[in-house]
Structure 1
Amino acid sequence: MIRIGANPIGWSNDDMPELGGHIPLEQCLTEAKSVGFEGMELGNKFPRDAALLRPILAAHDLDLVSGWYSTFLIERSPEEELTAARAHIDLLKAMGCAVLIAAECTRTVHGTRGAPLSTRPVMTDAEWDRFNAGLTRFAELVAAEGLTLVYHHHMGTVVQTEAEIDRMMAGTGPAVKLLLDTGHATWGGADPAALARRYRDRIAHIHAKDVRPAVKAESEKGDWSFLESVVAGVYTVPGDGCVDYVSVLREVPDYAGWIVIEAEQDPEKAIPIVYAKLGYDNLVRFIAEAGLKR
């Protein structure tokens, strides 16, 4: 069964808190539910105590989908990573989540507005070996906790390009699943439909965001940072950019799980509820056109 969720980054940005910093959590949840979303991923305004978070989401009849976790497996062992992730894992388990979203953030530049994407980190061969082995072991430890690790390839990090996604997938064990992010794949130079076809058996979570080609081209020409590009509008909701969602979804005919709209924009330029509804309605239509069942 496919369920449609949202990430609150469309209302309030985690990497750049001043974007949407004035928008209360109550507004975000009320608007998300009114649009039709069934669940939400974590954001910086969510309490990280299940006893506090559960009644807040229940009041809006929303489930917790999951939440981002920054790994540093180039620098620390899987066992150290598990210790660092303990509170996050316990929250996800208490809230009934199925997946843990992980992204390697050693030396990442995606949260630094003054750091051009050209300065992002690139792993050495030795670091690749350490990272892939560590990610596999960490995923196995997470699985023992009852959660599936889904890896989030992301602009500005060590796993950004198609070649890097392929190297990670080839070098990790079956406990590591892929979070297919249509926006990061497209901006990173990959065809998300091709990735979906190649890894359909290991895709366990999907982030749906679209890309505005003109802003992408301007960002690349000017060597902008990730956050500068976001503010300029490189990302938008499904159906408002260049991603062919029907083609992507047709490559995962047996997919069951969450498809989460995660389209960070400046809420002063892109009114959150307007874009949330646009993205939701488009995604529902794309899912139906692709022949997937909800």
Structure 2
Amino acid sequence: MSDGSTTARIALNPIQWMASDDGWLDPSKAPAPEERLALIKQSGFDAVMAEVPADWAVDRYKALLDEVGLALAPGYAVCRSDGRDGKEADVVAGAAAVARQHAELGMTEIGLGLAMGKEKPRVLHPAQAFDADESRVEAVTKLIEQISDVMLAEGVRPSLHPHVGTWIETDDEARAVLEALPASRLGFLPDTGHLAWAGADVGALIKDYAERIPFVHVKDCRLSVAAEGREKGWGYQKTVLAGLWVEPGRGELDLTGILSNLPDAFDGWLMVEVDRPDIADPYESAQASARWMRSTFAPSES
């Protein structure tokens, strides 16, 4: 991707419709699936993150996507355990069910990240490697290995997604998990914004693990806000409300430089995420994101 042109495909995870007044995400704020998917298509995206609405059959979801004219990009699974809290068996069973549904959608890749919570230690002290613990990372890695086994049995490979506010947040923590498991069992899903907020050299991480990246969360941010929040001891939500997240191309990350570390032949997904829109209207936020992505990366049509 060194010249800006790419065979990568562009998609949207439409979370800007879920941004809540407290700096969090509230799925109940989003329009109904029929309206939301139509708006995504109208905004300029041709693909959306796979996420079957609650209580919907897979066939109903597929039919709506066909009607609207949207392709599917890989979805996301959440590991709600640190590997030593007694919830491991339930988490593994849940992961198998998510992978089975993903396979029904025709997907072979899925993101996998750890859970957040408003009162969790790293949400209160974000992007600081708060309470870092090698033994916890080892326990998480063993749990991810079990999750990988059950997901691969369904034909779906998980990809590690480091995320601020979780126990896999930093460059070192991400590398520890990736080094412990081979690419055949665990891919890598980098998030440009979360990794940058956590102080990682995002370009270097992408370059080092490029061959195991099926998709990227393309997220822009204001590192100046991240730095101020760290200096003043702000929590996750306050940092977000101070204007951390922005549409791609409107922030302080060199997204083109970061993503140039992907292979020239990269044909995976560049998935836009705007956790809290800087452009207040979510639809206009999606429009701006689609315009910038298309003008910057000139992707071929999927």
Q: TM-score, normalised by structure 1?
A: 0.85
Q: Which residue of 1 aligns with 2:40?
A: 32
Query: 1:149 aligns to what?
Result: 158
How do residues 44-83 of structure 1 correspond to structure 2 at under 5 angstroms? 47-71=55-79, 72=81, 74-75=83-84, 80-83=90-93
1:165-197 CA distances to partner (integer Å, 9 max, x unpaired)? 122222222211110110101111012211111
Q: 1:70, 1:104 within 8 Å by CA — same for their partners in 2?
A: yes
> How is 1:113-132 mapped onto 2 (pairs within 5 angstroms)?
115-118=123-126, 122=131, 124-132=133-141
Offset at residue 229 of structure 1 (A):
2.4
CA–CA distance in structure 2, aligned partners of residues 157 and 242 of structure 1: 23
Is the deviation greater in 226-235 or in 22-31?
22-31
Report the Cα distance in structure 2 between the residues aligned to 1:16 and 1:254, rounded to whole angstroms: 36
Instruction: Provide the rounded CA distance (Å) in 1 between the counterparts of 2:188 and 2:122.
Output: 29
SS in 2 for 1:153: coil
Of 112, 126, 130 in structure 2, the residue corresponding to residue 102 of structure 1 is 112
Matched position secondary structure for 2:18? coil
Deviation at 1:23, TM superposition (A): 3.6
Give the structure, 1 or 2, with the largest relative contact order (CA under 8 Å, sep 6 or more): 2
Asked whether 1:237 is paired with 2:247, we answer yes
Q: Which residue is 1:139 aligned to?
A: 148
> In 1, Cα distance between the equivalents of 2:78 and 2:65?
24
Q: What do residues 54-108 of structure 1 show as CA deviations (whole Å, max 9, x unaligned)?
A: 2222221113323321112513587653312233222211112221211123xx4
CA contact (8 A) 1:238 1:283 kept: yes
Using the TM superposition, name which of 164-173 and 147-156 deviates more. Answer: 164-173
The separation in 2 between residues aligned to 1:139 and 1:248, in whole angstroms, is: 28
SS at match of 1:278: helix
SS of the residue 2:77 aligns to:
strand
Identity among equivalent positions (%) equals: 22
Residue 188 in structure 1 maps to residue 236 in structure 2: no
Which deviates the most, 210-219 or 194-203?
A: 210-219
Matched, 1:249 2:259: yes
Q: 2:272 maps to what in 1?
A: 261
In the superposition, the TM-score normalised over structure 2's length comes to 0.83
Which deviations, in whole Å up to 9, do the C-alpha atoms of 1:124-145 show, x marking residues without a partner? 3333223223323422331221
Which residue is 1:8 aligned to?
14
Question: For 1:85, what is the secondary structure of its paired residue?
Answer: helix
Per mean C-alpha deviation after superposition, the further-off stretch among 269-278 and 77-86 is 77-86
Q: What code does the residue aligned with 2:93 have? A: T
Q: Write out per-residue CA displacement over residues 228-260 of structure 1, whole angstroms, 9 at most, x where no aligned residue.
A: 322332111210111112212221122221111
Contact 2:50 2:74 in 1 (8 A): yes
Deviates more, 1:131-140 or 1:198-207: 131-140
Deviations 1:250-286 (A, max 9, x none): 211222211110111158x621122212222222233
Q: Which residue of 1 aligns with 2:100?
A: 90
CA distance in 2, matches of 1:192, 1:158: 18
Mapped to 2, the partners of 1:7 and 1:157 lie a distance apart of 20
CA distances 1:151-173 after superposition (whole Å, capped 9, x unpaired): 11101001111121122222222
In the TM superposition, residue 40 of structure 1 has moved relative to its aligned partner by 1.5
* RMSD between aligned residues: 3.0
Q: Which runs of 5+ in 1 are unaligned?
A: none
Letter in 2 for 1:262: E
**Does the residue aligned with 1:138 lie in a helix, a strand or coil?**
helix
Q: 1:135 to 1:121 in 2, by over 3 A?
A: farther
CA separation in 2, counterparts of 1:263 and 1:160? Answer: 19
> Which amino acid in structure 1 is aligned with residue 209 of structure 2?
Y
Deviations 1:2-53 (A, max 9, x none): 2111012011249945587164433422221112212222569665531332
**What SS does the aligned partner of 2:217 have?**
strand
